[in-house]
Chains A and B, each alone.
Chain A
Amino acid sequence: MARKEKQYRRLPGRGAPAWGLAGTSSLWMAKDHLLYVSSSGYAERYKRFYYENIQAFVIRKTVAGKVVNILVGAIAAMALVPVLIGIIGEMNEGTMIFFGVVAAVFGLVLLGNWARGSTCATFIHTGVQAERIYSIGRFYIAMKVLRKVRPLIEEAQGTLDTEGVEVARAEWTRAAESEKTTQSPLAARATVVVKKYYGGVFHLLLFLFILADVWRVALMFYYTSIVLVILGLVGIAGILLWLMLSLAMHRRATIASDVKASTWAAFGYLVLGQILGYVRTLIAVLQNDLSVQDRAASLGVWIGNSMGDKSLFFTVLPVMAAGLFVGVFGLVATVRYRRRATTPPPIPIDSPSPDVIQDNAD
């Protein structure tokens, strides 16, 4: 008996759909259409894109991969510091192995993430929709999918030869230009307002605050003072709030991708630091150890104790290393961005002043 031909063949890539971490999504290829399946585990939703209707694949590179690299790299660096100290000086062998394993695991994750290349967001455009395909999250997978799908789409639609591409480009430029010139005065003003000038001051201060907090943590090892503890509590709350403001600016202004990546890395550093600090505080409370007063400093003391070496210089290093890494990297990226954006973009000459708009409206 002839084997039944499969209607759908799976395309590379797997990812979580937009509406939950628990679900998965996948893209399938049929004779005349692509099927995008997003599944919650208990229900599946289908979206079909017929080859004859697909207008374009738009693949935008994202900074998510870089953020993960920075975070995982910071953790690997944090774990590597005690190992290096152990190699140079003296340290409990078991502790060294523990930190070595942690560094190796995170190092492998870093290597794997780096090897998989840049992350991306992929969209399929048709005449009536632009659907994000969450299963395609890596640029090389997007290229692989495109290589498989392109012949089928071209079979259904024909090919866009070099001349066709040139015509499309000319049409595109003309359409974009005409759209600009036919914009209403109000729309022109709205464009100027939406593309807000931003010099990067929020980000600059954020990374300076992080660096300042790193030094405060260092100070906590030399001086046990209630003032420093209160300053730390208020400071962390303030930095987190400032971080939220900085992240909000990502939507309102055009910011360089490395600054964005650094901001997300700072978010990860602060959140991870807080979580680890809380865990340590919880353990300290359970052990009735009330000698630690600051979460970040207590983390350092904890690491120091586990190393069997209470030298303040050694204990502070892992915490400082991650903070310094994120702070300095972010600061350099922001300064570079500020240099590029020293002058606000000029307001188009043909865009009318608010008074003119008012006159026109009257």
Chain B
Amino acid sequence: MADRSGVLNCPKCRAALPAEAINSTTAVPCASCRLPVYVAVFPALVRPEELGEAGKRLVMEDDASCFYHADARAETACQRCGRFLCSLCEITIAGECTCPSCLASSKDKGGLKEIETQSVRYDQIALSVAVLPLILAFLWPFWIVSGPVSIFVSLRYWKRSLSILPVTRIRFVLALLAGVLQVSVWLIAIVGITGAAGRF
């Protein structure tokens, strides 16, 4: 991170990097730790800091005011809940204007991909639960648990968004197949044992 003065520091020793390093064609040694550093700088580094705009005061009594700031004039409306917003409260994400509370609820419910910071890979979980006991054959007694669990996870989370990256449902399919196989083996074994016990 650049410090307040706009000088970048060496990631290793934290000393200020030499000015010659800026957009140099080769890596330049850090003045302190001597490790070669290549720095590609963009205009944002030297651009003056942009300050947020404060809400404008109400001029006339019948002006619409911001839902969150009663004394600030409304500039726009939230495209999700319709609340009037001043320029301070307006948040634009992926071309959509939202208010802070809609943004917070989107973050909690996962409705807005652009602000998602993490996701759980249920397909990987289902596949691991199904395949690991298959690979480690000595874990066969666990098939009675791992089979139904992998089937349940696959079906329960089939429609859930797995990642913001492009992923297919192939892991769910494989987990289902492996789960069905494990359950089938147990069913055949149980039927066989009970059948044999019946004969005796």
**B37 sits at the interface (CB 8 A):** yes
Task: Say yes or no: B40 contacts A57, CB within 8 Å.
Answer: yes
**A293 sits at the interface (CB 8 A):** no
* Chain A residues positioned under 8 Å from B41 (CB to CB): 55-56, 160, 165, 168
**B20 sits at the interface (CB 8 A):** yes
**B105 sits at the interface (CB 8 A):** no
Task: Say yes or no: A42 contacts B45, CB within 8 Å.
Answer: no
Pick out which of these stretches binds chain A: B55-63, B79-87, B161-169, B189-197: B161-169
Q: Mark A24-67, 1 if CB is under 8 A from B, else 0.
A: 00001000000101010111111100001111111111100000
Q: A60 vs B120: C-alpha distance in the bound complex, in angstroms?
A: 33
* Chain B residues positioned under 8 Å from A154 (CB to CB): 42
Seen from chain A, the residues whose Cβ lies within 8 Å of a Cβ on chain B are: 6-8, 28, 35, 37, 39, 41-47, 52-62, 121, 123, 125-130, 132, 139, 142, 146, 150, 153-154, 157-160, 164-165, 167-173, 175-176, 178-179, 195, 254, 256-257
Query: Would you call the interface of chain B mostly helix, strand, loop, or mixed?
Result: loop
Task: Say yes or no: A254 contacts B32, CB within 8 Å.
Answer: yes
**B10 sits at the interface (CB 8 A):** yes
Give the A-B contact count at a CB cut-off of 8 A.
159
Task: Say yes or no: B34 contacts A257, CB within 8 Å.
Answer: yes
Question: Can you report 15 residue pairs joining A to B where beta carbons are below 8 Å apart?
Answer: A8-B166, A28-B165, A41-B124, A43-B119, A52-B44, A53-B44, A58-B11, A60-B12, A60-B35, A61-B35, A127-B44, A130-B1, A130-B11, A146-B40, A175-B6
Task: Say yes or no: B37 contacts A169, CB within 8 Å.
Answer: no
Q: A140 vs B125: C-alpha distance in the bound complex, in angstroms?
A: 35
Interchain nearest-CB distance for A133 vs B (Å): 11
Residue of A nearest to B39 (CB): A58
Residue of A nearest to B5 (CB): A175
Interchain nearest-CB distance for A211 vs B (Å): 27
Task: Say yes or no: B11 contacts A121, CB within 8 Å.
Answer: yes
Task: Say yes or no: A125 contacts B1, CB within 8 Å.
Answer: yes
Q: Mark B151-175, 1 if CB is under 8 A from A, else 0.
A: 0000000000001111000000000
Task: Say yes or no: B35 contacts A56, CB within 8 Å.
Answer: no
Name which of A41, A62, A175 has the most chain B CB atoms within 10 A of its CB: A175
* Chain B residues positioned under 8 Å from A159 (CB to CB): 43
Residue of B nearest to A174 (CB): B5
Q: A146 vs B7: C-alpha distance in the bound complex, in angstroms?
A: 21
Q: Mark B1-23, 1 if CB is under 8 A from A, else 0.
A: 11101111011110011011011
